[in-house]
Amino acid sequence: MFGSGHLRFLLLLIALSLASAMGWALFQGDPRLVGESGAPMFRRAIAPSPGEAIAAERDRLKASVDASPELAGFVGRAAKAFPADWNRQADAFALRAASAHELEKPEAFVGDLLRVLRRDRGVVAAKAGDAALARVFDAQSTLTGKLANIDKRLCADFILGQTSPAFYDALRSARPAFAELASATLAAIVEGAKAEVERGAPNDGDFSALEAELRRRGLGDAEIAVLLDGKMPDPPMEDAVLCDAGLVYYDAAKSIPTDARMRLYALAMSASSGR
């Protein structure tokens, strides 16, 4: 069925890896922190000068992150490991807050920081050891499952790379899983810089093994077309079906031989660096 199997499975891996549109497209928008009434929860007057406004918003950002212990640990480690990236993202986040007169959720800041780290260092993370690399995908699977339990629509949106303010509310409910994904990603980047594990490119047998496991778990042509090609059937697939199909990928990947799985994981981790 798949004449261009490598490309199609590459698309699947990108779509279902933390570095992909599935994960990081969710953090590229500019949703605002709003209360149930739709009014911003953190509205304030801008300080007289832009510099003072940014400094004030950075202080508020720090307080917001510190109030979220699960996220604060990751942010502190990232700031220590990559201070330049931390400062650039904090300034950009604070500038956005000062311009909009409101501060976004701390999950949005962590998403921004992770997106940049992954974009710039995905190739490095791909060279981490097997355990560190697997930890990233286990965390991604867990977060996807948490979203599925909260709202199948948000899970489906996550797979399709779509975002909404409700997603950040869901991340707050799934904060430990999100924090684990962040920490696992950072750990893989740090380890990859030291370990420099070189893995060969996935071969035809690797892709065939993954395809066989996907089909053995009941995925049909329609689900695979969405996951591999981004082609939604008409009428559109139900959110629950799409969400469950995304979760099947993680389960299927765990069932193929370790060497093959690691080659596929490494490919996914490095595929979107520099995006």
Whether the link from the prior residue into 235 is cis, omega within 30° of 0, is: yes
Q: At what angle do helices 5-15 and 221-229 cross, to 10 degrees?
A: 80
d(CA 99, CA 92): 11
User: Is residue 123 packed enough to be buried (19+ CB in 10 Å), middle (13-18) or exposed (0-12)?
Assistant: middle
CB crowding 30-59: b at 16 or more within 10 Å, else e? ebbbbeeeeebebeeebeeeeeebbebbbe
pLDDT in the model for residue 120: 92
Q: Report the candidate in 4, 6, 12, 7 with the shortest Cα–Cα distance to residue 268.
A: 12
What are the distances in angstroms from CA 84 to CA 89, 148, 173, 204, 268?
A: 9, 35, 30, 40, 26
pLDDT in the model for residue 230: 63
d(CA 92, CA 26): 17
Radius of gyration of the chain (CA): 19
d(CA 225, CA 121): 30
pLDDT in the model for residue 77: 96
d(CA 202, CA 23): 22
Contacts of residue 19, defined as CB under 8 A and 6 or more positions apart, other chains included, come to 118, 119, 122, 268, 269, 271, 272, 273, 275
Q: Are residues 82 and 117 in contact, defined by beta-carbon separation less than 8 angstroms?
A: yes
Q: Report the candidate in 59, 66, 53, 67 with the shortest Cα–Cα distance to residue 100.
A: 53
d(CA 237, CA 68): 36
Q: Are residues 119 and 164 in contact, defined by beta-carbon separation less than 8 angstroms?
A: no
What are the distances in angstroms from CA 260 to CA 87, 126, 148, 263?
A: 38, 14, 28, 5
pLDDT in the model for residue 182: 94
| pLDDT (tens place) for every residue of the chain, 275 residues total | 434 455 455 445 545 544 343 344 333 333 333 333 344 444 444 444 667 888 988 999 999 999 999 999 999 999 999 999 999 999 998 898 888 777 788 988 898 898 889 889 999 999 999 999 999 999 989 998 999 999 999 888 777 767 677 887 888 999 999 999 999 999 999 999 999 999 999 888 988 888 889 899 999 888 877 766 667 788 888 999 989 988 998 899 999 999 999 999 998 888 766 54
pLDDT in the model for residue 8: 52
Q: Are residues 268 and 14 in contact, defined by beta-carbon separation less than 8 angstroms?
A: yes
Dihedral Cα 14, 250, 5, 260, nearest 10 deg: 100
